[in-house]
């Protein structure tokens, strides 16, 4: 299910719901008759006003009882307000509507963050079977000047919802053909051009990496391209490349069950590319953007690629495949080389659930950015901070490059001897070989693309990490 909750902005006098959320510290006298002084009430609950704190107060409302949620806003930063919005929306689950008063002086970014947090926390993976339905309508009460920021926040939140939907879809339904069909649907409703390479097209074009990874599956691979042409272009062209492995069993280098059970989300990077492209027109982005999703299912079978095979990528570089579980870099290599050869971008950014190693290095909260271009890394780190999809810059260590030398091909797909360590770094170095020296950044989102619990803006399952970050970067 996408985010089904409606979000609307109303004049503060237009209260209607039987649940009213008001920020700590706001004047309540206009809204409800409280028979207790607010400071004493908060002290009684030992509430300090931190973001995520909620004190619930039943109040008389004619003959009925209405509930007021006093919600903490912490330092009123976007980060705090995102969390506050999420917690309040969770408390409204199961209800038809909630009146949610915006903190008066939070400003456009703050209001947007509160609205975004409330919508993201209202995402539900499944309806009907267990779990409580998200609130049907969030009625934001605030000034008219908040409207543009809230509308943009809603576009971003719904893009995240689409990423979560695509990534949460079981691989029994989600194969490369299915993913391509969803991308084409998004293109049709968002004014994008689309192009899909079938296996024959891929063979004719020399996309040996995507074909090799997909050759063990009964569901053949696809390359998906979406193109956004702004009405008022600023003259720059960005290519976004996403890893679209619809299931990663590891191939013949088979994963154990524990390592495989969440691998339906191994196309999260590709889903971000699709959802971001789908939101650009609504945000009025002026950069030309092309999205590429390299989609394949990595399966073991009699037709699967074998460790030791040598494959030829788009553009002619050869790679010795020493581990079929290092498949993301193989499909991305083709797409990166194609972007460099044909699309002439000013900047390339790829996103991929590429390595377990990055989860070891940075954990589940912070994604990795690798780039040889300092200003691009800085832009992305800043967009991450502003959007709530935080990034940490990781190094491309040239001394580790010999890890990828092969005696039989231009490159090996892994550090076969394991002498260098730093698995996320050698993976990034591999990708760099296919970028033609262009301005490029690689986001390894393997650690952050899945949440283990319903918590704040996250619902258990896919997080949609990367969509808000890229939309922020492309619109600023």
Quick one: 327 or 350, whose CB is closer to ligand BES? Answer: 327
433 binds Mn ion (CB under 5 A): no
The helices-and-strands tally (H runs, E runs) of the chain is 14, 19
Quick one: 347 or 413, whose CB is closer to ligand BES? Answer: 413
Q: Which does 357 bind (CB under 5 to 8 A by kind): ligand BES, Mn ion, Zn ion, none?
A: ligand BES
Quick one: 154 or 248, whose CB is closer to Zn ion? Answer: 248
Cα(307)–Cα(91) distance, integer angstroms: 51
Instruction: Pick from 99, 154, 320, 325 the residue near Mn ion by CB under 5 A.
Output: 325
Rounded to a whole number of angstroms, the minimum distance from the CB of residue 214 to Zn ion is 13
**CA dihedral over 174, 157, 234, 372, signed as positive or negative:** negative
**CA dihedral over 393, 396, 400, 404, signed as positive or negative:** positive
Full 3-state SS string of 411-433: EECCCCCCCCCCHHHHHHHHHHC
Quick one: 194 or 463, whose CB is closer to Zn ion? Answer: 463
255 given a catalytic annotation: yes
The two tokens of residue 64 are 């009925």
266 binds Zn ion (CB under 5 A): yes
Rounded to a whole number of angstroms, the minimum distance from the CB of residue 245 to ligand BES is 6
Number of shown-chain residues binding ligand BES (CB under 6 A): 14
- Decide if 330 contacts 319 (C-beta within 8 A): yes
What's the distance, Cα to Cα, between the start and end of the chain in Å? 30
Judged by CB under 6 A, the chain residues 266 through 325 that form the site for ligand BES are: 266, 323, 325
446 binds ligand BES (CB under 6 A): yes
Stretch that binds ligand BES, among 25-33, 59-67, 159-167, 349-357 (CB under 6 A): 349-357
Closest by Cα among 21, 9, 165 to 81 = 21
Backbone angles phi, psi at 42, to 5 degrees: -65, -40
Residue nearest to Zn ion (CB): 248
User: Which distant-in-sequence residues (6+ apart) come within 8 Å of 392 by Cβ?
Assistant: 362, 366, 367, 368, 369, 381
- Residue from 329, 432, 450, 468 carrying the catalytic annotation: 329
The two tokens of residue 427 are 């993976």
328 binds Zn ion (CB under 5 A): yes
Place of tokens 């309806």: 127
- Residue from 95, 195, 255, 286 carrying the catalytic annotation: 255
Query: Pairing relation of β-strands 222-228 and 193-197?
Result: antiparallel
Instruction: Pick from 215, 355, 371, 387 the residue near ligand BES by CB under 6 A.
Output: 355
Rounded to a whole number of angstroms, the minimum distance from the CB of residue 298 to ligand BES is 7
Binding to Zn ion by CB under 5 A, coded x per residue (else -) over 426-445, reads --------------------
Count CA within 13 A, CB hemisphere, residue 291.
33
Q: Which does 320 bind (CB under 5 to 8 A by kind): Zn ion, ligand BES, Mn ion, none?
A: none
Judged by CB under 5 A, the chain residues 326 through 345 that form the site for Mn ion are: 327
Closest by Cα among 378, 422, 417 to 400 = 422
Rounded to a whole number of angstroms, the minimum distance from the CB of residue 355 to ligand BES is 4
Instruction: Pick from 248, 320, 340, 389 the residue near Zn ion by CB under 5 A.
Output: 248
* Helical spans, DSSP H, in 5-141: 38-44, 78-91, 107-120
Strand blocks (E) in 119-216: 137-141, 193-197
> Chain-centre distance of CA 457, in angstroms?
12
The two tokens of residue 288 are 């030309």
- Decide if 457 contacts 336 (C-beta within 8 A): no
Stretch that binds Zn ion, among 28-36, 77-85, 149-157, 328-336 (CB under 5 A): 328-336
Q: Which does 356 bind (CB under 5 to 8 A by kind): Mn ion, ligand BES, Zn ion, none?
A: ligand BES
Rounded to a whole number of angstroms, the minimum distance from the CB of residue 423 to ligand BES is 5
444 binds Mn ion (CB under 5 A): no
Judged by CB under 5 A, the chain residues 215 through 274 that form the site for Mn ion are: 248
Quick one: 194 or 353, whose CB is closer to Zn ion? Answer: 353
248 binds ligand BES (CB under 6 A): yes
Phi-psi group of 23: left, alpha or beta (phi > 0 → left; psi -120 to 50 → alpha; rest → beta):
beta
174 given a catalytic annotation: no
Backbone angles phi, psi at 144, to 5 degrees: -55, -30
350 binds ligand BES (CB under 6 A): no
Instruction: Pick from 87, 280, 357, 425 the residue near ligand BES by CB under 6 A.
Output: 357
- Decide if 97 contacts 139 (C-beta within 8 A): yes
Rounded to a whole number of angstroms, the minimum distance from the CB of residue 403 to ligand BES is 10
Binding site for Zn ion (CB under 5 A): 245, 248, 266, 328
Q: Where along the sequence are the contacts to ligand BES (CB under 6 A)?
A: 248, 266, 323, 325-328, 353, 355-357, 414, 423, 446
User: Catalytic site residues?
Assistant: 255, 329
Contact residues toward Mn ion (CB under 5 A) are: 248, 325, 327
């Amino acid at each position: 299910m996408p985010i089904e909750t409606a979000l609307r902005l109303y004049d503060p006098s237009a209260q209607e719901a039987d649940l009213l959320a008001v920020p700590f510290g706001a004047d309540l006298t206009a809204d409800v008759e409280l028979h207790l002084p607010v400071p004493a009430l908060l002290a009684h609950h030992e509430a300090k006003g931190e973001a995520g704190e909620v004190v619930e107060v039943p109040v008389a409302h004619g003959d009925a009882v209405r509930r007021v949620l006093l919600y903490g806003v912490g330092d009123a930063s976007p980060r705090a307000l995102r969390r506050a919005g999420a917690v309040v929306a969770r408390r409204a689950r199961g209800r038809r509507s909630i009146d949610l008063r915006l903190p008066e002086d939070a400003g456009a970014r703050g209001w947007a963050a509160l609205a975004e947090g409330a919508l993201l926390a209202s995402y539900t993976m499944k309806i009907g079977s267990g779990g409580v339905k998200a609130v049907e309508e969030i009625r934001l009460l605030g000034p008219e000047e908040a409207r543009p920021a809230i509308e943009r926040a809603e576009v971003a939140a719904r893009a995240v919802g689409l990423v979560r939907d695509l990534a949460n879809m079981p691989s029994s339904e989600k194969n490369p053909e299915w993913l391509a069909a969803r991308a084409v649907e998004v293109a049709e409703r968002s004014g994008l051009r689309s192009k899909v390479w079938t296996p024959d097209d891929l063979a004719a074009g020399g996309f040996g990496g995507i074909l090799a990874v997909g050759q063990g599956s009964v569901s053949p691979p696809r390359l998906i391209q979406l193109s956004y042409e702004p009405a008022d272009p600023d003259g720059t062209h960005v290519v976004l490349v996403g890893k679209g492995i619809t299931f990663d069993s590891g191939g013949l280098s088979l994963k154990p069950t524990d390592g495989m059970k969440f691998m339906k989300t191994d196309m999260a990077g590709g889903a971000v590319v699709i959802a971001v492209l789908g939101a650009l027109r609504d945000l009025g982005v002026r950069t030309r953007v092309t999205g590429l999703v390299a989609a394949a299912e990595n399966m073991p079978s009699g037709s699967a690629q074998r460790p030791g095979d040598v494959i030829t990528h788009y553009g002619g570089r050869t790679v010795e495949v020493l581990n079929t579980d290092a498949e993301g870099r193989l499909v991305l290599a083709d797409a990166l080389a194609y972007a460099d050869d044909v699309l002439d971008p000013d900047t390339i950014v790829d996103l991929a659930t590429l390595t377990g190693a990055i989860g070891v290095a940075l954990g589940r909260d912070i994604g990795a950015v690798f780039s040889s271009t300092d200003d691009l890394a800085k832009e992305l780190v800043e967009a991450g901070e502003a959007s709530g999809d935080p990034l940490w810059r990781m190094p491309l260590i040239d001394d580790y490059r010999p890890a990828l030398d092969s005696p039989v091909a231009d490159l090996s797909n892994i550090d076969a001897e394991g002498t260098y360590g730093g698995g996320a770094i050698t993976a990034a170095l591999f990708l760099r070989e296919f970028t033609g020296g262009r301005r490029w950044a690689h986001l390894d989102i393997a650690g952050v693309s899945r949440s283990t619990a319903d918590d704040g803006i996250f619902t258990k399952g896919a997080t949609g990490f990367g969509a808000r970050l890229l939309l922020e970067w492309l619109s600023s």
